[in-house]
Structure 1
Amino acid sequence: MRVYLPCTLPALARVVTLGELGPAPLTGYAVTPALVEWYVSGDTEELEYVALTEAARASLRMLAADRADGVQVAARRVVIAAEVPDGSVSAGAELEERARVRLAAAIPMADIAAVHVDDLSAVEDVEAAIAALPAADRGDDDARFALDGAEANELLWYATQEIPDLVG
């Protein structure tokens, strides 16, 4: 099963150093039965894009949490795409996050298929979205617009052999 895992550039560097993404349990996003039922007209590619987008939103929250903790982290969303055995994934029940899954084991580098990262041109929009998160969570429409601005930027695809260059 293809699973999309939210990340940040410093966390991706730790994955390279440790040789795995962990520790478990991990939260990821995938094409779940609930997502398929909700998005009936979507084909597999569209459904995977929804899961990737959910993981990118979670990456944005990780960036905000790192910043709140005083960690200097680049304003670039990161999503790791991995192939994992179906048996290691369990789907959540929350209707708002139909694509959310939990993984019971760490993900070794060998199971990582690709990494998706914001281009440098997205940094300004991602910065604005990080700043807008608290207000957006309170329902502020202007703040939600800032979140949409970040999501308007497509994440770039990187092969696994390019990961060291991303974090170096």
Structure 2
Amino acid sequence: MYVFLPSTIPALVRLLEEGRLEDVPLTAFTADPGPGEDAEEVEYEAMYAAAGESLALLAADPGAPRRRVVLVADMPDRVVEHEGRAGEGVARVKVTGAVPYKKLASAHVDDADAARDIAVAVQDPASDAAEGHELMWFAVQELRYLVREDGA
């Protein structure tokens, strides 16, 4: 099952150094389309639900670069527990097992130019400051270069 994991640049650095995310359980989101719902659209909504949760992680880590990070992982169903709905066609889930690097499918990260607006959204989650910024897609093999770019 594909899960969208909210994250931060420092957490991504730890994942790359350690080869896995160990802090379980982890909050995540997944697409759970109903009849007639477009699966791609629901995945997009699940990704942005995780991006919203990334703002809370950034608020808890004042030193982290102000960029939302969403990691996409293909996890076995047995380690994913549904917790409830997080919007139309989106389920909030809990990942109860470690997430190995090899299970990552991609990452979605704000452009560095979004930092000022993301900082505003971290301070005021009700603001729409982050809404104008699309997350950029990164292949797993690009992640090491991404964190180097950010000075991590």
Structure with more strand by fraction: 2
1:153 aligns with 2:148: no
Residue in 1 aligned with 2:100? 108
Deviation at 1:118, TM superposition (A): 0.1
Pick the structure with more helix per residue: 1
2:123 paired residue number: 131
Q: Is the 8 A contact 1:54 1:99 kept in 2?
A: no
How many residues are matched? 147
Which consecutive residues of structure 2, in runs of 5 or more, have no partner in the other structure? none
| Paired residue type of 1:45 | E
Equivalent position amino acid for 2:147 in 1: V
TM-align CA RMSD: 1.7
Q: Work out whether 1:5 is the aligned partner of 2:26.
A: no
Separation (CA, whole Å) in 1 of partners of 2:19 and 2:86: 34
Quote the residue 1:137 is aligned against.
none
Q: Distance in 1 between the 2:86 and 2:140 partners?
A: 33
* Cα distance in structure 1, aligned partners of 2:23 and 2:76: 17
Moved over 6 A (4+): none
C-alpha contact (below 8 Å) 1:7/1:77 kept by paired residues: yes
Counterpart AA for 2:27: T
Q: Match of 1:65?
A: 60
| Structure number with larger C-alpha Rg | 1
The percent identity for this pair of structures is 41
TM-score, normalisation: structure 1: 0.81
Q: 1:116-127 maps to which residues of 2 (within 5 A)?
A: 116-127=108-119
Please name the residue that 2:80 is paired with. 89
What's the CA shift string for 1:94-123, capped at 9, x where partnerless?
566952101120110000001110001211
State the TM-score, normalizing by the size of structure 2: 0.89
Match of 2:50 in 1: 55
Amino acid of the structure 2 residue aligned with 1:114? S
Q: 21-30 vs 8-17, which deviates more?
A: 21-30
